[in-house]
Chain A
Amino acid sequence: MIEIRDLVKTFHPGSVNEVLALAGINLRVKNGYFITVIGSNGAGKSTLLNCLAGSYAIDSGHIQIGEQDLSYWPEHRRASLISRVFQDPLLGTCAALSLEQNLALANRRGCRHGLGRGVRRVDRELFRQQLQQLGLGLEDRLRDPVGLLSGGQRQALTLLMATLIRPQVLLLDEHTAALDPKTAQQVLELTVKLIAEQQLTALMVTHNMRQALQLGNRLIMLHGGRIILDVGEAEKAAMSIEDLLQKFYTVRGEEFVSDRMMLV
């Protein structure tokens, strides 16, 4: 269970560039819920994810996962509860290290990294099995540097790494946006599969409204740093993209015509 209360984040406070990115977010997510997050550019979607993961320090408010209040935990400490996949496929993996070394790091997420062997023999077998389910033939390339993989392969690997140890919360920040349509679809299918298998609690930011409606069992829309729409499973299933846009305009008025771009 994630509980977010009155989350506020301002960029460049006190300067002419001051931006109120999150203007008091309140959100409760039950365990096992897969939420899709939409909103126009600058709505605060990525900021919300970054505040959850700890990349950005929050101004005020509370973030709680289960019983633990992690509002002021540093990013690396939150990694014991939260894992994430970035939009940039290069960010989630380390190019200089081999596949098995990357997986070994992920296999110790939130644990101590001591002077024991980085990749043990028992790990290798586990990694091979895990890679096999991707169906990309990566199980035979355990010792190849990750830098040799394509963007899609790296993103699939990042997903695997994010779920190798079951996270309390999985954050996906437009993680298919930088991939070609076919690869994006594969990575998305893998995402859905992993979330279903492990019954993960997940937040997925997307710009694709169809995706946002099809996937998950709850949808929230952000605008101006606030949640302006929160749709449950049943209501979401009955919604079309036009309905969603209509909702958006009634809540915000007609001033954001450019947001029709989100349709694409």
Chain B
Amino acid sequence: MSYFAFMGALEQGFAYGFLVLGVYLTFRVLDFPDLTVDGSLPLGAAVYAVAISAGINPYLSLFLAMLAGFAAGAVTGILNTRFGILHLLASILTMIALYSINLRVMGRPNMTLLGKPTVLDPLTNAGIGLFNAAPLLFGLLSIVGLLLLLWLLQTAFGLCMQATGANPQMITSQGVATSRVIILTVGLSNSFAALSGALLCQSQGAADVNMGVGTIVAGLASVILGETLFGCRSVGRALLAALLGSVVYRLAIALALGLKLGQFSVTPSDLNLLTALLVVAALSLPGLRRKVLRR
């Protein structure tokens, strides 16, 4: 793998890192399979692209993208808790609704950021090359995100989040309305997904209404890959594993895309197959390892 391919994979890994942290929050902490991210990731990209084009400060635009993502997640949470729709179905409903909304936000299927200010400007102005600046900035941002989540999970509200996922009856009888916790947590998770979308939009230079397809699979794959490779004994370790899982996942994809076996070479169209294989491997590895060790 070339240096550029490696840095590109790092950049993608960190950009998707927020999504993966968000997926960890819903899937692992809240036990809420949330497919909204397939819609909220492109929503974040769309809002970011529109905001940047309107001349809004790039960092403020990131924040706006997060707000939009939060709203999308909160809708899923409300559909689930207030209207009693099954969590999976509620998230699918929001997801397909977001496809239309994303088109409305942009007014067209895709939007480029050519010639607009970017979040990377402060770094490139300081003389850091573009190929180093993006992974550096995204990496820093995702570490900040990780630390924020780690702090949040240790607060009183964070304990409620963890207990809502693990034992709803217990936390209800401690006086906490689980519906409120679910709405806020799914919202937060999707604000992270939207931030990923905005960063990806920045790194690709364009927002596309179809960029969210398969987001949840990639997110879940990264979470599982991270857990398998780095463990999840404590909350901090699990968060770090999720973020590193995202990076490893992108590196693995980059490696696979550069693969050549005689006449056969892997192309980007094989990406979905590779993702599926990677998830199968990550899911079955812990079980297989246990079997081998027992012998």
A residues with a Cβ closer than 8 A to B are 53, 74-77, 79-80, 83-84, 86, 90-97, 101, 104-106, 108-111, 113-119, 161
> Do B171 and A94 touch (CB < 8 A)?
yes
B156 at the interface (CB under 8 A from A): yes
8 Å CB interface, B158-199 against A: 158-160, 162-163, 165-167, 169-178
> Do A93 and B167 touch (CB < 8 A)?
yes
CA–CA, A59 to B152, complex, Å?
Answer: 40
B154 at the interface (CB under 8 A from A): yes
CA–CA, A97 to B235, complex, Å?
Answer: 10
* Chain B: CB-nearest residue to A120: B156
Q: How many Å from the CB of B196 to the closest CB on chain A?
A: 24
> Do A84 and B156 touch (CB < 8 A)?
no
B210 at the interface (CB under 8 A from A): no
Q: How many Å from the CB of B134 to the closest CB on chain A?
A: 32
* Chain B: CB-nearest residue to A88: B169
| Count of chain B residues with a beta carbon within 8 Å of a chain A beta carbon | 23
* Chain A: CB-nearest residue to B161: A113
CA–CA, A95 to B165, complex, Å?
Answer: 11
**Given the complex, which residues of B lie within 8 Å of A95, measured CB to CB?**
166-167
A92 with B170, Cβ < 8 A, contacts A116-B156, A117-B156 known: yes
**Given the complex, which residues of A lie within 8 Å of B157, measured CB to CB?**
113-115
Q: How many Å from the CB of B76 to the closest CB on chain A?
A: 21
B267 at the interface (CB under 8 A from A): no
Q: A108-B156, A114-B155 are in contact. List 19 more A-B contacts (CB 8 A).
A: A75-B172, A76-B177, A79-B175, A83-B173, A86-B169, A91-B170, A93-B167, A94-B162, A94-B163, A95-B166, A105-B160, A105-B174, A106-B174, A110-B175, A111-B175, A114-B156, A115-B156, A118-B159, A161-B174
> Do A105 and B159 touch (CB < 8 A)?
yes
**Given the complex, which residues of A lie within 8 Å of B178, measured CB to CB?**
76
CA–CA, A104 to B178, complex, Å?
Answer: 17
CA–CA, A218 to B193, complex, Å?
Answer: 57
8 Å CB interface, B199-257 against A: none
Q: How many Å from the CB of B268 to the closest CB on chain A?
A: 39
**Given the complex, which residues of A lie within 8 Å of B154, measured CB to CB?**
117-119
> Do B159 and A97 touch (CB < 8 A)?
yes
CA–CA, A91 to B168, complex, Å?
Answer: 9
> Do A109 and B158 touch (CB < 8 A)?
no
CA–CA, A96 to B170, complex, Å?
Answer: 12
Listed A/B pairs (25) with beta-carbon separation below 8 Å: A75-B172, A76-B172, A76-B177, A79-B174, A90-B167, A91-B167, A91-B170, A92-B173, A93-B170, A94-B167, A95-B166, A96-B162, A96-B165, A97-B162, A97-B166, A101-B159, A104-B156, A106-B174, A111-B175, A113-B159, A113-B176, A116-B155, A117-B156, A118-B156, A119-B154
**Given the complex, which residues of A lie within 8 Å of B159, measured CB to CB?**
97, 101, 104-105, 113, 118
CA–CA, A117 to B154, complex, Å?
Answer: 6
**Given the complex, which residues of B lie within 8 Å of A105, measured CB to CB?**
156, 159-160, 163, 171, 174, 176
